[in-house]
Amino acid sequence: MAKPVPMGARGEAEETVEFEHTLTAHHPSLPPVYSTPDMIRLMETAAFHALQPFCEGDEITVGTAIHVEHRAASGIGTRVKAEAVVESFDGRFYTVRVSASDGAQEIGRGTVARAVVSLSKFVARVRKSAE
């Protein structure tokens, strides 16, 4: 990554909980609340947005680790907002502090790790491993 990423760089992502984001969509006997995988996806998107402005050329960041707690339920129609703040860099991986809230409460929090990759090299490596 050619541009240095300042600690504290921020990103966010929002969505309204729809049926497809609920546990019920995965299994009919489960309640119609926002699923943990969908919350994590939104958090990863916020982390991507925090780092992407500092990427150059065909660079992107990809997720490498997730440490997240899902602490409260949100129902269909609720607006969920994820926020991400770059916390540290160890020479290869960025640690990004993430949280999600639904306006009334924090529903999740934790950290995600992301690494910078060249999109073209990454896709070529994935294709080669699939052969």
Show which residues are catalytic. 36, 44, 70
| Token pair listed for 52 | 């992407």
Q: Return the closest-CA partner of residue 81 out of 11, 13, 22.
A: 13
Q: Which residues pair with 61 in a beta bridge?
A: 116
| Token pair listed for 30 | 């489960």
Half-sphere exposure at residue 25, Cβ-oriented, CA atoms within 13 angstroms: 14
Tracing tokens 């960041």 back to the chain, one arrives at 61
User: What letter would DSSP give residue 30?
Assistant: S
| Token pair listed for 121 | 């090299």
**Spatial contact of 69 and 110, defined as CB atoms under 8 Å apart:** yes
| Token pair listed for 100 | 């999600």
